Amino acid sequence: MTKLLTQKSRDILQNKLNGKNKLLSYTFPIDFYDPLDFFNYQSSTFKGNRFFWKSSDGLLWTVGLGIAASISADDADKRFQITNNQWNRLIKEAEIDNPSGVPGTGPLLFGGFSFDPYSNNEMEWENYGHSILYLPSYMLTVAENQYYLTINVVSEDDRINIDTLRTEGNQFVKQLRKKNNSSSVIPIKIKSSEEVAPNKWLRSVEEIVHVLKTTDVKKVVLARKLLLEFENNAQPSYVIEQLIEQQPTSFIFALEVGDYCFLGASPERLIKKTGNHVLSTCLAGSIGRNHDEQEDQKLGETLLKDHKNRFEHELVVSMVEDALKPYCAEINIPNEPILMKTPDIQHLYTPVTGKANNDFSILNVVEKLHPTPALGGVPTNAALEIIREKENMDRGFYAGPIGWTDYQGNGEFAVGIRSGLLNGKKAFLYAGCGLVSDSVAEDELKETRIKFQPMLKATGGESL
């Protein structure tokens, strides 16, 4: 294996984790390499088997090419546990050479989970299933301005060892440095856009508000979608590039499965773990922005004082606290929310910090946190039943957890909002809003139009 892995080799490595295969992983520092150029590297070879991640603070970027192994779970009830168990089995017997020990380097699992495995299934989400997470063949990690390359192989072949991967790594870096390796990025041109069944959605809002006024259900989050058609095939790399530029304080993510790519710019962290430090963020209650600074400040003050939005926000804070208690030795929560401002929207924001105990596993905690009241409702099960009946669509991975965990137990998951699903010359964009008993249908429709903006702008569209 003194040359790059062939496509046949990569296909062999995309195996089921049957207990006989062994993971070998080698990580080493490299000179500067642009993450987006890495994502585009030999795109004709790796397209459909790539992921991209930028943390909201820009301190961690990780990009994966190829699939050494993938984990997916068909069991809707046990998908988080199955993923966690298979990942632990894989790394338990692994041979890992990673002198840096930097979080986000070495063997790393990246992917996500559908919002609701019991919702109506639609064709566009068929390839993603209930969950899918990749261990990449090649991975670039940028951590605090240091660059690392990780090579992973899962194989029964005893002839493959760490020395083999070192040779492979040197050859791969030489190939990276050659000119004209990266594909050109072609801008997207929107041919048409269509809000999917807006009048039916408005009726659903009114029906749900009636339920909220007459039952013990406190909140339901209702989502809808926008269909875009393009003049040319949409390249994920173009959208990622636009999102990085336009949404610098958001999590930028992309997960390809075959011809589809789920990607977006989420402002909302679900959970982060570094060592024993735990961070979750509560993001619920939102209002638009204004180009005039004083008017924008007034909007923010209105949001901070708004009873409906504060009620929504407090539901999320309470739920996150309850979910983290069994896994944290201590939890710290500010008494009042502050504002988080993104280019198109401002939110009520409360950070929740804690210290992980010995029972903490990031995938298990993701299961406990998902869905938060910001994405599902309160009480959770009752809200999900209403969503299944009234939303009339498959959210797929929209509003589901997406992120990564490494072999050391570090990781970070965001909520897959401000997102869309690309497929050739079309895309679906998704947006939702929280309904409470005093919600007004037309106001909620306007809110979703604001929330379409990040992805609409990134694909070259204009305001609705």
Contact 156, 21 (CB under 8 A): yes
pLDDT above 90 covers what percent of the chain? 81
Question: Torsion angle of alpha carbons 200, 205, 208, 209, nearest 10°?
Answer: -150
pLDDT of residue 344: 84
Work out the mean pLDDT of the chain and round it to a whole number: 92
350 in Cβ contact with 258 (< 8 Å): no
What whole-number distance in Å separates Cα of residue 77 and Cα of residue 240?
A: 33
Distance separating alpha carbons of residues 380 and 377, to the nearest angstrom = 5
**What pLDDT shows up at residue 10?**
36
With a cut of 60, say whether residue 170 has pLDDT above it.
Answer: yes
pLDDT for position 90:
95
Average of pLDDT values for 89-113?
96
| Residue 444 backbone dihedrals phi, psi, to 5 degrees | -70, -35
Is residue 167 one of the residues assigned to a domain? yes
pLDDT at 149: 98
> Cβ contacts of residue 165 below 8 Å, gap of 6+?
24, 25, 26, 97, 151, 153
Residue span of the structural domain in which 270 resides: 190-458
CA distance 186 to 190: 13
Q: Is 463 part of any domain?
A: no
- Dihedral sign, CA of 323, 325, 331, 337? positive
1 found inside a domain: no
Looking at residue 458, the DSSP 8-state letter turns out to be: H
The per-residue pLDDT for range 180-199, each reduced to its tens digit, is 665 677 889 999 999 999 99
d(CA 131, CA 149): 26
65, 344 contact by CB (below 8 A): no
- The pLDDT value recorded for residue 16 is 46
Higher pLDDT, 342 or 200: 200
Q: Report whether pLDDT(29) > 60.
A: yes
Identify whether residues 363 and 402 lie together within a single domain. yes
Q: Is 11's pLDDT higher than 90?
A: no
Q: Could you tell me the end-to-end alpha-carbon distance of the chain, in angstroms, rounded to an integer?
A: 53
Assess whether 44 and 131 both reside in one domain.
yes
List pLDDT tens digits, range 420-434: 999 999 999 999 999
Per-residue pLDDT averaged across 214-232, rounded? 96
- Of the candidates 286, 295, 261, which has an alpha carbon nearest to the alpha carbon of residue 342? 286
CB-based contact 68:110 (threshold 8 Å): no
Helix (H, G, I), strand (E, B) or coil at 117: coil
Does the pLDDT at position 13 exceed 60?
no
Single out the catalytic residue among 168, 241, 268, 367: 268
Please give the pLDDT value at position 456. Answer: 95
Q: Are 323 and 425 contained in the same domain?
A: yes
In the predicted model, is pLDDT for residue 93 greater than 60? yes
Q: How confident is the model at residue 356 (pLDDT cuts 50, 70, 90)?
A: very high
Query: Which tokens belong to 71?
Result: 């984990």
Report the CATH number at residue 345.
3.60.120.10
Do residues 136 and 203 both lie within one domain?
no
In angstroms, the CA 397 to CA 130 distance is 8
Which residue in this structure is represented by tokens 């959605």? 201
Residue 268 annotated as catalytic: yes
Residue 219 falls in the annotated catalytic set: yes
Please say if the pLDDT value at position 3 is more than 70.
Answer: no
Confidence of residue 308 (pLDDT cuts 50, 70, 90): confident
Q: Which of 137, 152, 177 delimits the end of a domain?
A: 177
Residue 431 lies in a domain: yes
> Which of these is catalytic: 47, 218, 219, 451?
219
Residue 267's SS3 state is coil
What would the mean pLDDT of 447-453 be, rounded to a whole number? 95
Question: Of 118, 142, 177, which residue constitutes the final position of a domain?
Answer: 177
Looking at residue 179, its pLDDT comes to: 63
The tally of domains found in the chain comes to 2
DSSP string, 182-238: BPPPPPP-EEEEEESSHHHHHHHHHHHHHHHHHSS--EEEEEEEEEEEESSPPPHHH
